[in-house]
Amino acid sequence: MLRKWVDMPPVWLLGFLALARWQVQAFPMGLSFGPVWADLLGGLLVGGGVLLAGLALVEMRRHHTTVLPHEEAAHLVTDGIFKRSRNPIYLGDVMILAGFILFWDAVLALPLLPVFVWVIEKRFIEPEELRLQRKFLARYAKYSQQTRRWL
């Protein structure tokens, strides 16, 4: 029961954000991405990530399917933002992490991005895709051929 609520993408995102913030405070090293552009791009990435995830959540609710990654989906959502990415919520999470790393000038935390993507793929995306393949068979096969996992 506890695993169901702790092993969730937002919890992993918060953990990675905490690591990035810790890097800035514990090991600033005087490194910076630059003055204004990093703050602007960081803000755009965070805002875009929140918007992307929000659009995906609305679309999933509209189709009356779960947003919880460990549960079986009631419907295969392929329209709206899901026409562009099979995983817009996770893509939004990556954008949020990247945005905060830029905004905080957490230069040494940049390697957290590919590690976060790897964790999300292994912990959530791959098991979700297996469940969708088993449940929706040919519809999911066609969808996964037409729509990329990330972008």
pLDDT of residue 16: 98
Reduced to 3 states (helix: H, G, I; strand: E, B; else coil), residue 85 is coil
Rounded distance between C-alpha atoms, residue 97 and residue 12, angstroms: 11
Rounded distance between C-alpha atoms, residue 71 and residue 131, angstroms: 9
pLDDT digits (tens, 9 = 90+) for 34-44: 878 899 999 99
pLDDT digits (tens, 9 = 90+) for 83-125: 999 999 999 999 999 999 999 999 999 999 999 999 999 999 9
What single-letter DSSP state applies at residue 104? T
15-30 average pLDDT score: 93
Task: Tell me how far the alpha carbon of residue 135 is from its chain's centroid.
Answer: 23
| Pair 93, 53: CB distance under 8 Å | yes
Q: Is it the case that residue 3 has pLDDT exceeding 70?
A: no
Q: Which residue has the tokens 């893509």?
A: 91
